[in-house]
Chain A
Amino acid sequence: MTGDRETVMDCSRALDNLPLLLSGEVDGATAAALHAHLNECPECHHQLSGQQEVQHILRTYARRESVPLDVQQAVTARVSELCSTRRQQFPAALSRGAAVLALLALAIVLWFPRDQGQRRFAGPSLLQVTVEDHRKTLQGQHDFHVMGPSARQVFQYFNANPALPRPLPIRPAEGPRTRLIGGRSCTLLGVKSAYMVYSHKGHLVSLSVIPDRSLDLSGLRSLQRHEQRYYTGWYQNYNALFWRTPMSTNTLISDLPIGDLMAFANLMGRPLHPR
């Protein structure tokens, strides 16, 4: 064949261009060259009809489900939530000033040497919660459910108020990210620690933070062997212990995880003393 690259069309090039021809995305010169080639080449013409056939079969017989109602509701709730958290408009100069300040702050943070022992979950601030916080949570004034400063106080609070709504619900719209739903301070293995409850994908996951300890979980019967290895590794990396609990979202938060944590503490020979 002769001609420039745009108009020369061999079978291989024609085959690669067929999808563009079918979706009307080829320019005039290429389309003309393609059509000329298709008129001369029965094999490529057969490929064209084959591709049209596959297109039609897929459009007719491939699964095309609508979004399920529960997913639709969850996503709609998420979008409404996102839209309601809009930010106020700042003047452009103020925005630029804020950007410069943010960069300066980042530079300062990066400049200062960090304590290698403090990696994640250093935050006692997360745990400075009170029974008042718990009351507000139950009244829907907080974004997440807070257990209170100690399990004992929470139990007393529940026992003194039988009319309180139970169990504490996990909101279905909480989304894909792991969310903090409760936390308290405690003394574990003689060390001031934090015990927190998270949700992940709508399931409850418990997290205990024990600073600067190495740990072997191989004796903990509530974990399977591969989980023991996994969580031990996780603990050693992050100074924290993370394990799932066999709870449904209808279970009282104040029940199972603490039992599990106490079993863990007893196993290690150091009883748990809630603050």
Chain B
Amino acid sequence: MFGWRKTPDSSSRFGQLALTHLDSLYRIAHRLVGNPVGAEDLLQETYIRAWASFHQLHTDNHCRAWLTKILYNTWHNQLKQKQNESGWFALNDNFTSTPVPSPEDELVAQTYSEEVERALQRLAPEMREIIILADIEGFKCREISEITGCPIGTVAARLSRGRCFLHKKLSRFAQSRGYT
């Protein structure tokens, strides 16, 4: 029961592992939440939970999927809480300010396509989450099944339907970029 013993070794191991995947986790958080302030909060909450259940991570190779699963569950818990306490969150949403884009943001904005982002936004949320995990973050279907708790068949079917939808929406974009 009290398996969560933290030792100096586990502290340094957690510090190293957790920060290795920061970029990937931030991208997923940003896409799930939709704003940088919320993404930061989600990240911090994820790390708090990850530290509390660090003993459950047995192999370091599995760390990214494990952290992503925690982030995904945290996000869905927050969504449920948000629905239950809509008044409180609505008020706090007023607190979020529009961030000033950094030079890094501007550089990123030059390389990604708004059209692709718009097409992604049109996907149903359950399909979008899986497409993001598979095609942007490079997770395998089996890992996505573990992260989201969906059967692998459901993951593959949603992925297939999501890609089919995007293929139709992005046909003109694909032609303009030389895809057949």
Instruction: Mark A residues whose CB is within 8 Å of B.
Output: 15-20, 23, 25, 47, 49-51, 53-59, 61-69, 71-72, 74-76, 78-80, 82-84, 86-87, 89-90, 95-96, 98-99, 175-177, 200-201, 203, 226-227, 230, 233-234, 244
Contact = CB atoms under 8 A, between A and B. Distances in A.
B73 to A, nearest CB: 15
Nearest to B26: A67
Contacts of A79: 14-15, 18-19, 47, 51
Nearest to B41: A176
B167 A16 contact: no
Given A19-B160, A64-B27, A51 B167 contact: yes
Given A23-B141, A61-B112, A62-B136, 19 more contacts: A19-B141, A50-B164, A53-B167, A54-B163, A56-B179, A57-B166, A58-B116, A59-B135, A61-B177, A62-B120, A67-B23, A68-B36, A78-B44, A79-B51, A86-B6, A86-B8, A96-B1, A227-B91, A233-B87
Nearest to B1: A99
B164 A47 contact: yes
CB-CB nearest 6 A-B residue pairs: A86-B6, A95-B2, A176-B41, A83-B11, A67-B26, A19-B159
A84 B7 CA distance: 10
Interface in B115-140: 116-117, 120, 131, 134-136, 138, 140
A25 B135 contact: no
Contacts of A68: 36, 102, 104-105
Nearest to A24: B140
A54 B160 contact: no
B179 to A, nearest CB: 5
Contacts of A76: 19
A83 B12 contact: yes
A35 B141 CA distance: 19
B146 interface: no
B116 A61 contact: yes
Interface residues of B, number: 71
B92 A62 contact: no
A54 B135 contact: yes
28 contacts: A16-B160, A19-B134, A19-B159, A19-B160, A51-B164, A54-B170, A58-B136, A59-B135, A59-B138, A62-B116, A62-B136, A64-B27, A64-B108, A66-B26, A69-B102, A71-B39, A75-B19, A78-B47, A79-B18, A79-B51, A82-B14, A84-B11, A86-B10, A90-B2, A90-B5, A176-B42, A200-B95, A244-B91
Nearest to A63: B112
B153 interface: yes
A55 B137 CA distance: 11
Nearest to B13: A83
B160 A230 contact: no
A156 to B, nearest CB: 32
Contacts of B180: 49, 53
B157 interface: yes
A214 B4 CA distance: 44
